[in-house]
Chain A
């Protein structure tokens, strides 16, 4: 079953077409990679899906509901949560406070109830769940560390933990291993796999780095210059000459 479908989505900025007529099908409980060299339109597509941009044309369906035109917070509430390339955490809070805050932000209640009710029960529940998430993401040992003073790789994982606090069905990760060394990369990709394997969360991974995508994803969609180049299994993608050319450039230059 497809949890996320993108149909003929086009996004123009003024005269520039950043994404042109793109289709995408993400199956439930898969890790789907969207790759392509710089300027391929990955980030634009990402922003269209998460609601930051409205598409110029085309539709986006998540879990059976049309979500194009909805606001980012509405999409998040429906269970499609994105992370950011950087700063996907509140830097001046501790790790535990980060996840607790992300959970607090979920509560839907009025001003007066928030101020007057003591809601110990809810607090206890939130704390329990936050600790569970940290345990799962292997951040529990650092729960009192200030987010801004954590190692780069762990900050990225905290960003994912914050997203988990929203109880998403699908997480979209924006270049989760950008600028990381191999050890950090392995740590993050390991966590990404566990999201799907242990908690059954669908993952959409937007990445520049092919290596990460190859080892982590079930299926891959390749974009180049705003258009979909191909879609397939990692092995198919890696050996496709069009993809190699998109990444390394053609070898046939007439200088």
Chain B
């Protein structure tokens, strides 16, 4: 139905395949993190399509990371098992967390998810055994597959690329499936959706759990890369960054969060010389977007596209009008 999206996807994939060979090691590391964040930000959008903005999403990511650390340290599980298992653990925890949260809505949901997320994060600090307390867990293996050591950035990059593409593909299909449409219907008009026979609570829970699942994947990939994680990685500060990405990009299309993350990653790298002043810049950007461009960058793109289309149509109209006159 639309040839532009697949074409764009192919171009991006080719670029992604070539990129690591032309970039420095540092840039490859940045790209790995970028891909992981791509999964994270896209998974967060799933919840927001039902209208449930959560403040515990990075804790779900952390759950995947901690699960990975435990699975690979206790049982020495290989990476192709730790990643999916960590995702399942995050999904299960997500289900437990969302059950009480369904009683709340909007701002209440936001705050309550903050509190429940903190409860989980505090338990990582509290229970030194097995979570390592405030200093977290170290010595998480980077993993290997077919005797290729993932400690090397380029092989791990490709591993993450494959996982990210598969995850995004799944989320893209989900977004366009009847379930994705149901999520949006709930957001547009909960009462109407309910009157048409939709079990609103069930679908809200489904969105949250699916989001947690993919956040778990992102967390697992992150844990393998960093080799060490601690509760601070998943605190509300990180959450605010996630919110910045998604607010800058916008949430009404699948591409919005991806655009937001891409732009903000570039800004982040570009602003590296600013050192500690960087959060100020990011805070300012967040405020700017919320006040002046609440639709995010995707909204800007849509406006530009509409204007171009209108101009083209205007021209066509003028030509046809001219023809009629003559």
Interface residues in chain A, defined as those with a beta carbon under 8 Å from any beta carbon in chain B: 50, 71-74, 76-77, 81-84, 87-92, 101-102, 104-107, 109, 111, 114-116, 162-163, 165-166
Q: Give the 9 A-B residue pairs with the shortest CB-CB distance, closest first.
A: A76-B197, A104-B178, A114-B177, A114-B179, A77-B197, A115-B173, A72-B194, A73-B194, A73-B199
Chain A binder among B60-68, B133-141, B185-193, B216-224: B185-193
Is A105 touching B195 in the complex (CB atoms < 8 A)? Answer: no
Chain B residues with Cβ below 8 Å from A71 are 194, 199
Closest to A162 in B: B196
Considering the chains assembled together, what is the distance between the CA atoms of A81 and B192 in angstroms?
A: 10
Is B189 touching A81 in the complex (CB atoms < 8 A)? Answer: no
Looking at chain B's contact residues, the main secondary structure is helix
- Hey, what's the 0/1 contact readout for B252-287 against A, CB within 8 Å counting as 1? 000000000000000000000000000000000000
Is B188 touching A107 in the complex (CB atoms < 8 A)? Answer: no
Chain A residues with Cβ below 8 Å from B195 are 50, 72-73, 76, 81-84, 88, 163
Chain A residues with Cβ below 8 Å from B182 are 104-105
Counting contact residues on chain B (CB < 8 A from A), the size range is 20 to 34
Considering the chains assembled together, what is the distance between the CA atoms of A77 and B202 in angstroms?
A: 15
Chain B residues with Cβ below 8 Å from A89 are 192
Contact of A165 among B173, B174, B189, B196 (CB under 8 A): B196
Is B185 touching A73 in the complex (CB atoms < 8 A)? Answer: no
Contact of A115 among B170, B188, B192, B194 (CB under 8 A): B170
Is A105 touching B185 in the complex (CB atoms < 8 A)? Answer: yes
Considering the chains assembled together, what is the distance between the CA atoms of A83 and B177 in angstroms?
A: 25
Known: A87-B189, A91-B188. A107 touches B178 (CB 8 A): yes
Is B174 touching A111 in the complex (CB atoms < 8 A)? Answer: yes
Contact of A73 among B174, B179, B200 (CB under 8 A): B200
Chain A residues with Cβ below 8 Å from B206 are 111
Is A106 touching B188 in the complex (CB atoms < 8 A)? Answer: no
Considering the chains assembled together, what is the distance between the CA atoms of A72 and B206 in angstroms?
A: 19
Considering the chains assembled together, what is the distance between the CA atoms of A165 and B173 in angstroms?
A: 24
